[in-house]
């Protein structure tokens, strides 16, 4: 029963490390960001374009530190979402 949670934690940890490494590499020659909104703009435009060859489709915030980035054609998941064989595993 604890196995899926452990797998999720390991996957999240790997994702965090990869993301942190990419951001460090992409921002080494840029000026420091002024605030959170500057950081989010960088991620939506520069970072996303470099990694996924397109900008984020939508950025929303509740102005309380919560940001939602929307990519309507996220390449890493579009094939998975196209087939029904993955529906059982999608909630994971």
What are the pLDDT digits (tens) for 5-39?
777 788 899 999 998 999 899 899 888 999 988 99
Is 1 inside any structural domain? no
Is 55 inside any structural domain? yes
Sequence-distant (6+) residues with CB within 8 A of 44 are: 55, 56, 59, 69
Q: The CATH number of the domain where 26 resides is what?
A: 3.30.1380.20
pLDDT at 80: 64
Is 12 inside any structural domain? yes
Instruction: Evaluate whether 68 touches 56 at the Cβ level (below 8 Å).
Output: no
Given a cut of 70, is residue 40 above it in pLDDT? yes
Domain count, the chain: 1
What pTM was computed for the model?
A: 0.66
On average, the pLDDT of the chain sits at: 84
Look-up of token digits 């996924």 = 52
Is 33 inside any structural domain? yes
Q: What is the domain range of residue 14?
A: 6-89
């Amino acid at each position: 029963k604890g196995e899926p949670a452990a797998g999720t934690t390991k996957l999240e940890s790997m994702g965090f490390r990869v993301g942190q490494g990419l951001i460090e590499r992409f921002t080494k020659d840029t000026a420091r960001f002024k605030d959170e909104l500057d950081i989010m703009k960088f991620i939506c435009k520069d970072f996303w374009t470099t990694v996924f060859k397109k900008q984020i489709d939508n950025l929303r915030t509740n102005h309380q530190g919560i940001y939602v980035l929307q990519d309507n054609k996220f390449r890493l998941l579009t094939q998975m979402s196209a087939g029904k064989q993955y529906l059982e595993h999608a909630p994971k």
